[in-house]
């Protein structure tokens, strides 16, 4: 396939990288929050700290998964487009071959029928 047959889907790539960047940012914020809470004198309980960390990590994982899903959709779009182009090219080639056969005087009957002159299917 030629490279100009593929439509660039840069917008979806940018959104996927944005989601991955936000996921990494959330991971960093979570680590920073844990570090500040554990190093300083505070009234934050361990259960609420762990709950908040788990929630932020789950959301970061969800964002990362959505970004990967967007990239998979881009690649499947490329595959579908390549398949469609290939089928169109094969159909055009088949039409040219069929036009050449009819121009050369060949019929569309099976080869055995052309040689013997009798219809094999109806005997």
Query: Where in the chain are the domains?
Result: 9-104
Residue the block writes with tokens 């990239």: 71
Kindly report the pTM of this predicted structure. 0.57
Residues 6+ apart with CB under 8 A from 63: 19, 20, 22, 23, 26
Positions in the chain whose pLDDT score sits under 70: 1-8, 42-44, 103-123
Q: What is the pLDDT of residues 98-121, one digit of tens each?
A: 777 776 666 655 555 555 555 555
Tokens of residue 115, six digits: 């040689």
Closest of 94, 110, 15, 8 to residue 121, by C-alpha: 110
């Amino acid at each position: 396939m030629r490279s100009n047959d593929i439509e660039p889907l840069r917008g979806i790539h940018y959104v996927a990288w944005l989601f991955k960047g936000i996921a990494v940012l959330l991971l960093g914020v979570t680590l920073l929050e844990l570090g500040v809470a554990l190093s300083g004198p505070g009234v934050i309980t361990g259960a609420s700290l762990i709950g908040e960390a788990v929630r932020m990590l789950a959301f970061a994982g969800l964002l990362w998964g959505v970004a990967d899903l967007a990239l998979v959709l881009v690649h499947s779009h490329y595959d579908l487009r390549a398949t469609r182009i290939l089928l169109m090219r094969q159909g055009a080639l088949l039409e040219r071959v069929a036009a050449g056969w009819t121009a050369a005087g060949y019929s569309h009957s099976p080869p055995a029928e052309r040689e013997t002159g009798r219809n094999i299917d109806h005997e």
